[in-house]
Amino acid sequence: MRHKDKVAVVTGAAQGIGLGCAQRLHDEGARVVLADINGAKVAEAARQLDPDAATAIGVACDVASQAEVKALIAKAVERFGTVDIMVNNAATTVAADPLDLTEEEFDRVMAVNLKGTLFGCQEAGRLMVAKGGGAIVNMSSMQAELAIPTRVPYGVSKAAINQLTKIFALSLATKGVRVNAVAPGTILTDLTRGGVLSNEDSYRMILSRTPMGRCGEVDEIGSVVSFLASSDASYVTGQTLYVDGGRLTLNYVVPVDTLPGR
């Protein structure tokens, strides 16, 4: 299997894209540490992967705290001996008019999304450099390029993650550590189904800007993360791969006849 005998840490892994990434890495042979601020939920997610906790464990972690990220990496080493793959996926957002956004709202999103990714790159990166190699995959977003007026800190944080990915990739390129990012479009998770996709007009608007005519599946992000973390991507570093059904390159709208996957 692609990741046999590897150890992966995935943050924000209690649900959605993070859980999908953990599932894919686990299916391909990795021992996985799932981390999330919701300790009970991430513990249950880990049990779904392995009820015996031999190859998957859940750890409560607020990635906005460097001390907690350091403890997360230490826990992975204590349990499985090392960390070969780090997926910095944990994120949060807030909806607010740019003129009404509060300092506290801005700071919390930046702390989780950007500082959390920084801390994950640092703590996993140090370990990987010491042992001679590894792969880091950061979770960006199409909102790094496409602005949504009510998502100020989210878009800013994701654009910064793209640059952070390039910086760490250059810094670690000669040390055997590759650093890349994945930028999803609209993905079918419980959150999107209960949110923007629950409204037919908003769903049609999204699909009208998606050339492939559908939203993405969680495993379609997990598969790209798995590829970037594997030896198949051994000459790939510093890249942000947009997995968005062609949305980023579209400069017109397409007709929408049906609403698949709703």
Task: Kindly list the catalytic residues.
Answer: 154
The count of other CB atoms within 10 Å of the CB of residue 11 is 32
As a whole number of angstroms, the distance between CA 165 and CA 17 comes to 19
Continuous segment of H or E residues that includes residue 117: helix 116-131
Two tokens, residue 84: 């070969």
Two tokens, residue 181: 């990012």
Largest alpha-carbon pair distance within the chain?
54
Q: Where are the beta strands (DSSP E) in the chain?
A: 7-11, 31-36, 56-60, 85-88, 134-139, 177-184, 187-188, 216-217, 240-243
